[in-house]
Chains A and B, each alone.
Chain A
Amino acid sequence: MVQRMLKTVVGVALAGAFGGMAIAQDSKVADELAKYREALADGNPADLLEVKGESLWSEKRGPKNASLEQCDLGLGPGKLEGAYASLPKYFKDTNKVMDVESRLVHCMVTLQGFTPAEATRQWYSKPGKESDIEALVTFIGAKSNGMKINVPATHPEEAKMAKMGEYIFYRRSGPQDFSCSICHGQEGKRIRLQELGNLTTQQGAGFAMKTWPSYRVSQGAVWTMQRRLIDCMRQARWPEPNYLADSIIALETYLQKNATGTVMETPGIKR
C-alpha cells in the first residue's frame, strides 16, 4: 500500500518534472527569440530607406519638375507629422477614401506630373531595384512615430469602407479555406513562432499596425501595408489584388479603425 502510494507520488512528481521541462523548453525558445528580435531592432535597415525617402520628398522630379512638399496627406499641404497615423481617410478632392500610398501616388500624378503607371511601376522593390514608394512611405510613416493611430472612420464613406473591410476580413475561399480571421481572429495564437494577434480587437490590431512600414528580414526589404496585405492574399493562395485596390484600402481602414489609439512604433523590423 505504502509502496503503491510512493509509486504514485513519484509518478506524479515525474510527470510534473516532464511537464516542467516542456514549459522550460518553450520559455527558452521564447527567450532566445526575444534575444533575436532585440538584436535586430538596433540597426534597422529601414532607417537607410527613411533617409532616402526624405530626400525624394523634397527633390524636384517628374514632368512638372516639382517636389512633393505641397502634397496634402490629409492634414494640410506638406503637413507630415501624424499624417500616416490618421490614414486612410476620405478626401473631398477625389471623393474617395485613400490610404497613404494611394494619396502619395495621387500627389506624384497631380503635383509632379507622372502618369499613374509611371508612379506605380516600381511600387515594391526587387533585389537591385529600389522602390521610391517604399522609401517615401517609410519616411512618411516615421513622421508619425510616437503618435496615436487615429482612424475613427466617422465620415460616412470611411465608415462604409471599414465595414467593407470587415467583410473581406471574414471572407473564406481558396484551396486552404482561408480568411484573414482564420489566423487573426483569436487571442494568443501563433503561426510557427510568429505571434498573430486578434485583429478584431484594439490591442491585437494595434500591435500589428503600429510597426508598419516594416523591414522584413526574410524579404530584405521594407514592406508597406499594401504590400503586406496583398501578400496575405497570396499566402491565402488567392490571386493578388491590384496595387491600391479599394478592397485593400477597405481592409486597411478596418484595421486602422480597430487599432485607433495605439502609439506608432515605425519603421519596424520583423521576420
Chain B
Amino acid sequence: MGNPMKIRAANKDGVTEVKVLVSHEMETGQRKDAAGAIVPAWFITELVAKHGDKTVLSCEFGPSVSKNPYLAFKFKGGAKGEKVTVSWKDNKGDSRTDEATIG
C-alpha cells in the first residue's frame, strides 16, 4: 500500500497545476547491500492522474526516476472543489490511489 501521496492541485486562470509527491523506494536493481548482494529492483512503473473520470496524465517510469518521485504538470479546466486522483502501481504489483481537492 505504501504511504499516502502528497497531492497539490491549484486552479489559476482556467488551468489546473498539479504537483505530486509519492513515497516510494525506486530501487534500481543495481545497488548492492552491505553484504554485497544486489538489491532487487523495486520501482513504480505506471502512474495515472485523473480529473474526475478524465485521465489528464499517464506516465511510465523506469528505475532512474528518483526515490520519492515528484511530478508536476498542468491541464486546462478543473474548478475549485473538484477532485484530482492519482494512482500508481509498481513492479511488485503494489498500488495506491490518493486524491486531492483543487484549490
A/B touching: CB–CB < 8 A: yes
**Does the CB pair B67–A43 fall under 8 Å?**
no
Is there contact, CB below 8 Å, between B19 and A42?
Answer: yes
Q: Which B residues touch A128, using CB under 8 A? A: 25, 27, 42
Q: Please report the total number of A residues contacting B with Cβ < 8 Å.
A: 12
Of chain B, the residue at the smallest CB distance from A128 is: B25
- Residue B95 at the A interface, CB < 8 A? no
Q: Assess A45 versus B68: contact at CB under 8 Å? Given A127-B27, A127-B39, A128-B25.
A: yes
A205-225 CB contacts (< 8 Å) to partner B: 217, 220
A51 touching B19 by the CB < 8 A rule? no
Kindly state the separation between the CA atoms of A51 and B22 in the bound complex, as whole angstroms. Answer: 13
Q: Chain B residues with Cβ under 8 A from A43's Cβ?
A: 19, 21, 70, 72
| Candidates A45, A52, A220; contact of B21 at CB < 8 Å | A45
Within 8 Å by CB of A220, from B4, B6, B19, B67, lies B67
Check if B23 is an interface residue, CB within 8 A of chain A: yes
Look across to chain A and name the residue whose beta carbon is closest to the beta carbon of B2.
Answer: A48
Is B3 part of the contact surface with A, judged by Cβ < 8 Å? yes
Q: Is the CB of B6 within 8 A of A127?
A: no
Interface residues of A in 47-62 (CB under 8 A from B): 47-48, 51-52
Q: Whole-angstrom distance between the alpha carbons of A91 and B3 in the complex? A: 35
Chain A residues positioned under 8 Å from B3 (CB to CB): 48, 51-52
Chain A nearest CB: distance from B69 CB in Å? 9
Closest to B22 in A: A48
* A48 x B6 contact (CB < 8 A): yes
Contacts of B21 in A (CB 8 A): 43-45, 47-48
CB contact list, B1-22 vs A, under 8 A: 3-6, 19, 21
Contacting residues, chain B, for A127 (C-beta < 8 A): 25, 27, 31, 39
A48 to B70 alpha-carbon distance, docked (Å): 12
A48 to B69, alpha carbons, bound, how many Å?
A: 11
* Contact between chains at A45 and B25 (CB < 8 Å): no
In whole angstroms, what is the CA distance A42 to B70 when docked?
10
Central interface residue in B5, B19, B67, by most chain A CB within 10 Å: B67
Asked, given contacts A42-B19, A43-B19, A127-B39, whether A48 binds B25 with beta carbons under 8 Å apart, the answer is no
Interface centre among A42, A47, A48, A52 (most CB of B within 10 A): A48
B residues with a Cβ closer than 8 A to A are 3-6, 19, 21, 23, 25, 27, 31, 39, 42, 66-68, 70, 72
Report 19 cross-chain contacts, Cβ distance below 8 Å, ordered by A residue: A43-B21, A43-B72, A45-B21, A45-B68, A45-B70, A47-B21, A48-B3, A48-B4, A48-B5, A48-B23, A48-B68, A51-B3, A127-B31, A127-B39, A128-B25, A128-B27, A128-B42, A217-B66, A220-B68
